[in-house]
Amino acid sequence: MVESIIFGVIAVSFIAALFLAWNFYQQARNKERMLLIEKGMNPEEIFRIQKKNKFEFVFPWLKLGVVTLGMSISFLAIAFLILLLDQDQELFKGFLITFIIGFCLGVSLIVNHFITRKEKNKDG
């Protein structure tokens, strides 16, 4: 019961944070446009300038993959420390499964980075 309440609070907080970030971005963009209009610029010219200067977001697949691999390797180290010090087989299996999932995820993120980079180089 308590876990579901905590999960609900975290989910609602995350959604609220995303909405507020988007809302503040829209407000700042609107203020910038209003200031440019007050200075005498044409709205069509403002939109043309904003389209020309549009930032293209590139997802950091490589960074995320390296961080995931590092975390999964630390889980492997923790698993072997638990096996050596506590002799707890169940906890060892849990950390080993976490390592395997993290390792596969990290490798797939790194591979995705190189595939995306090759496709981007072909296109542009």
Do 43 and 95 meet the contact criterion of CB atoms below 8 Å apart? no
Burial of 80 (0-12, 13-18, 19+ CB in 10 A): middle
Q: What's the longest Cα–Cα distance across the chain?
A: 75
Are 122 and 71 part of one and the same domain?
yes
Residue range 87-119, pLDDT digits in tens? 888 888 999 999 999 999 999 999 999 998 887
Per residue of the chain (124 residues), give pLDDT as tens.
778 888 888 889 989 999 999 999 889 888 888 888 888 877 777 777 777 776 666 788 899 999 999 999 999 999 999 888 888 888 889 999 999 999 999 999 999 999 988 877 776 5
Are 123 and 62 part of one and the same domain?
yes
Are 61 and 120 part of one and the same domain?
yes
pTM: 0.55
Domain span at residue 70? 57-124
Q: Give the chain's domain count.
A: 2
